[in-house]
Structure formats: C-alpha cells, structure tokens
Amino acid sequence: MQPTYWRLRLLSLGAALAMLTLGPCQAQDAAAAAQAAPQEASPEKPPAAPQAAALSIAPDVQPLRPFGHVIGDVITQRIALDHEGRQLEPEALPELERVGNWFQRRDVRIERDAAGRRWLVIDYQIINVPDELRALDLPALDLATKTPGVRLETGVLPVTVAPLTPTVVLARAGLEEMRPDAGAPRIDTAPLERRLHFALYTAAALAAAWLALYVLRQLRARNSLPFTRAARDMRHLDPGSTAIWQRLHRALDETAGHVVRGHNLASLLARAPWLTPLQSELERFFEASQKRFFADHPVDGQEPAALCARVARLERQALA
C-alpha cells in the first residue's frame, strides 16, 4: 500500500509543475498578439498629429495702490491689450459678479489712452473686510482671445485692507461708554435777518411811495379836474339855487371844450367816453335845465349836486 501512496504524490507534483510552466507561456503569447494587432492596423489608419499647446501671454498691468483700502473702496485694474506690437482682443469680457469673499466686479470696459494704447479696465469694489489689517489677493485672470491659441493670463495682486474701526477700543475712562449724539450745528441767521429786514424796509418804502402818489393824484384832481372842483364848490351853495345848475353847466363846458347842450351831447361823450354810463342822466339834466332856465317851469326830482358827485367819481377813476 505504501508504493501506491508515493505514486499518487509524484503524479500530483508533476501536474503542479506543468500548470506553473504553461501559465507564463500563455501570457507571453497574449502580449505578443496584442503588440502585433496595432502593427497590422497601422498601414490602414495613420496616427493623429499632436495638438499645439495654447500660448499664455502675461500682459502689462498698471501698478495700483496696494495699501490703505477700506470697505466700499473701488480698486481699478488696467490690463494692456497688446503684446510685442500685436493687438489682442478678448473673446468675452469678465462677468460682473462677486469674486470670492472680499471683492465685487462692478464694471468692465475697454478704454484707449492718449497714446492710443488699448486697456482692459476692471473695477473691483471691496464689499467685505477682515477684523484686522490683512493682505487680500485681487483675483487672477485667464481670458481667451480672438487670436487662435493665445490667452491672456494675469497673476494675483495683493492689497491690504483694514476695518474702519477697531473691534475693541482702549480700556480707558470715557472711551468705552456710548457717547450722545452730537448736537446740530447752529446756523448763522444774521445774513438772513439782514436780507429780511432789507426786504421789509423796501416793501414799506414802496407802500409809502404808492400812498403818497395816490394822495398827490387826489390833491391834483381836486384842483384840476372840472367835476371834482365843481362838486367841492357845490358844498358851499344852496341846493335849490340856480348857481348849482350853472356850476354843473360850466364843468360840462370845460370838459367838452365848448358849450354843451342837449343837441350836442354826443361831442362831450366823444371827448370824455368815461361819461357814457351816465348818458341818460345827462340827457335828463339838459331837459330839466331847458325847462328851468327858458320855460320857467319848476323841476322836481333832479338834483345837480348828486349828479355832479357821481360824475366826479367817474372822472377821478378815469383821470386821477
């Protein structure tokens, strides 16, 4: 029974050696077949040519103030749009958006300076600040141009930004307490008062001058206007006397420049049209006067003094 046992052990060992020998041979055959396949396919399809790498250009960037910035400040970056005498045109301008935690891109435009050089101008506004003085990086740019294979690239620009006020004030008496609001500044009202007084004095002087002119015109009217003088004279005459009628006739004649009777009343109205509202009363006066002086008939209901007063009032309104 022992020879059979050893015989089985020898067969198992031989099978294991055969498997170890055949494994590497099959792997070598598969690798050779894989290398041969591209060589056989190469005559049918040539390999693609490698693409050329994009050319990155670092343009001129005008230096800006790198210190002393606070919240709300606007930092303007100017990038030259040329390189070695060749003009460059960006395919698209950077978008107006928030850039990081500190900056907001507010405006992007292309300008030309006095020498004719073109610049890409970008305005950044500081929208946030750290608690203490700190250096922040203005973002870099990577812009494609309309020239194939050429890009514009700029690096970051460090700027220092500080808060407007410190977080903690000095612990000294009076510095930590809340101060009351500052009082409103007093406005010097002396110039306003002087102008007001001047305006009031001027207005008073104008009013006094107007009043004096009115009084002078009334005094002149009393001495020069025919019906006004007649009305003043009638105050000293008997209301029923003939002198009152005669005095009104003289005023009518003086106004017309000739003797006026009922038949030529139109000439008086043509020379003094302001008497037109009293035309009917004047006609009745002349009829009554004709009866009184030439027919020797008594006249009732006709008052020359009242008519003269009404005519004098119209006379002053028109001529005084």
Q: Residue 211 has what pLDDT?
A: 93
- Cα–Cα distance for residue pair 241/259, rounded to 1 Å: 21
Distance between start and end Cα atoms, the chain: 171
Q: Residue 237 has what pLDDT?
A: 87
Q: Residue 37 has what pLDDT?
A: 45
Q: What is the mean pLDDT of each run of 10 residues along the chain (320 residues)?
A: 56 63 52 48 47 72 91 94 88 92 94 92 94 91 89 92 78 66 87 95 96 84 82 86 88 90 88 90 88 70 86 84
pTM above threshold 0.85: no
Number of CB atoms found within 10 A of residue 230's CB: 25
Distances (CA, A) of 110 to 116, 122, 212, 229: 12, 9, 74, 90
Domain extents in the chain = 55-161, 222-319
Q: The tokens 């028109």 sit on which residue?
A: 318
Identify the CA nearest to 57 among candidates 118, 115, 144, 157: 144
Q: Residue 80 has what pLDDT?
A: 92
